Structure 1
Amino acid sequence: MNDLPDPDLTPTPEVVLRPRRKGIYILPNLFTLAALFGGFYAVVMAMNGRFEQAAIGVFCAMVLDSLDGRVARMTNTQSAFGEQMDSLSDMVSFGAAPALIVYEWALQGLNKLGWLAAFVYCAGAALRLARFNTNIAVVDKRFFQGLPSPAAAALVTGLIWVMDDLGYRNVEQIEWLRWTAFAVTLYAGLTMVTNVPFYSFKDVSFKRSVPFIAIVAIALGFAVIAYHPPLVLFGLFLAYGASGYIVYAIRKAKGRPVSVIAVSTDEPDEKGLHQ
């Protein structure tokens, strides 16, 4: 008689599954770190009175910030770490950096009012980012709730870039320009924490085919920007910064809902509109 155990009756040891490690993906976080460097570089340049380079640093951070999330989705490397890193980078590059730059450029000439305006902008950016992170699942993805912080940073630093390009120096001693910087800083800071809807362009698909004329228009757009970057970029973001209030007024006049917060994400007409 065979004394060997029957393989079908032999108990098999349990396989202990180790929890998957929460890794840190290199590629998307490289873009985030580069955006963070752009904000830090901008602050250093402002401290040395090189305001054109400071503005360029913030705009470069904007481009890099727009890429890190797309790269993560394309390469399937999204992570909780990346989300937190992106928020912290945004706070530095589009919150603290523009506030410090505009204070060094003009607002210090207004004494207490100057640093209060800079703080309102910085606090507005922090509140806007915190609200974005907590409301991300219930906001219509076609719109931002309030002015996004990169666009607010572009408003503030775009003004600095244009005026510096026009040859204005020692701005803290030019009264009309100090008050202009004060108004723009407050407008950008407060608009970030409003409920005004700003179009997000997230429903634009880059996988669809487009007419040939669209490619021509894009090429012309790049040519116009290259002709005079400070003025064109500031003009574009100035128009975008006002567009939310225009959309709000049109919706209000037509009796349509002006809030971008969903009452219920299960409603049929809201399907696919929320992240």
Structure 2
Amino acid sequence: MNSPEQVPQDDDAEVVEPARPRRKGIYALPNAVTLAALFAGFYAIVMAMNGRFEHAAVAVFCAMVLDSLDGRVARMTNTQSAFGEQMDSLSDMVSFGAAPALIVYEWALKGQGKWGLIPAFVYCACAALRLARFNTNIGVVDKRYFQGLPSPAAAALVTGFIWVMDDAGFKNVSTMPGMPWVAAAVALYAGLTMVTNVPFYSFKDVSFKKTVPFIVIVAIALLIALINLHVPGMLFGLFCVYGVSGYVVYFMRKAKGKPVSVIATSTDEPDERGLH
């Protein structure tokens, strides 16, 4: 058998090395934003332990803003990583699971003894279940909707209620008749809604790169002005509307005999349009 002919190499030819696969590492920028969100959740817990509930609520809302930024920063800078995804989930569990549960317990439930632990723990457990289900179903859920109330919105319901009440002058709530029960109801509603199959709009199909009518910009300016009138009340009101919107969609579609599941019928096309 003859050996293949050797092709003479040109001395002036540039040797192109094969591209090495990109190393899966830890990227500083998006994870720094995630750590900032984690610190906001930790700070909220510390403030609640010191009885400064307004600061605790504000810290949770700051964590929400930071949580919405880390993924966008990672996509804009092309620095997504499996490490970042896991870090984000752990940060969410602290900021939107443990922190709101501890804040509502310190604010209103600790005077109820062991009974006060139940609503706070149910909320915390539901947040963990919600995050675990989100991570496992991420590839088969219609991305226009969340399966159950997202944990940041649930945290906004609980801490927003506390922020409004504290701003209105309600102090030593754990000793007030009736108020602990109201706080427990809010915590249970937010927690249990997280683990339902009710569809909540995700706003993920909203593109900021497309042109919009001029009236949309006017509406945004008006919304900002309305929020500025009374920040705690307006933010809590917005999240209350969002917190019941999923049930409205669910029962409207049920009444019309339409399917309401957000699970896609094909794992090959998780972005297909419409509920299933």
Which of 129, 149, 155 is the equivalent residue of 1:147? 149
Equivalent position of 2:272 in the other structure: 271
Q: Matched residues in 2 for 1:64 and 1:184: separation?
A: 24
Partner of 1:3 in structure 2?
none
Deviation at 1:74, TM superposition (A): 1.2
> Could you tell me how far 1:222 is from its partner in structure 2?
0.9
Alignment pair present for 1:158 and 2:160: yes
Alignment correspondent of 2:105: 103
5 Å-filtered alignment, 1:235-274, equals 235-266=237-268, 271=272
SS at match of 2:146: strand
Question: 2:83 aligned with 1:76, yes or no?
Answer: no
For residues 210 and 29 of structure 1, what CA distance do their matches in structure 2 show? 32
3-state SS, counterpart of residue 256 of structure 1 = coil
Cα-to-partner distance string for 1:90-146 (whole Å, 9 max, x where unaligned): 000000000000000001122112111101000000000000000000000010000
Letter in 2 for 1:146: G
Shift of 1:273: 7.5
**Corresponding residue SS for 2:178:** helix
CA RMSD of aligned residues (A): 2.0
Q: Which runs of 5+ in 1 are unaligned?
A: 1-5, 10-14
Is 1:88 aligned to 2:90, yes or no? yes
> What's 1:198 paired with?
200
TM-score (norm 2): 0.90
- Give 1:262 shift: 1.5
Identity %: 76
Unaligned runs of 5+ in 2: 1-5, 10-16
* Structure 1 partner of 2:12: none
The aligned amino acid for 1:148 is P
Deviations 1:11-46 (A, max 9, x none): xxxx89876532211111111111101100000000
Whether the 8 Å CA contact 2:26–2:81 is kept in 1: the answer is: yes
* Cα distance in structure 2, aligned partners of 1:237 and 1:69: 22
* SS in structure 2 of the partner of residue 264 of structure 1: coil
Q: What is the match of residue 232 of structure 2?
A: 230
The CA distance in 1 between the partners of 2:45 and 2:111, in whole Å, is 18
- Kindly provide the amino acid, as one letter, of the partner of residue 45 in structure 1: M
Could you tell me whether the CA contact under 8 Å between 1:139 and 1:262 is conserved in 2?
Answer: yes
SS of corresponding position for 1:106: helix
Q: Is the partner of 1:198 in helix, strand or coil?
A: strand
Aligned length: 263
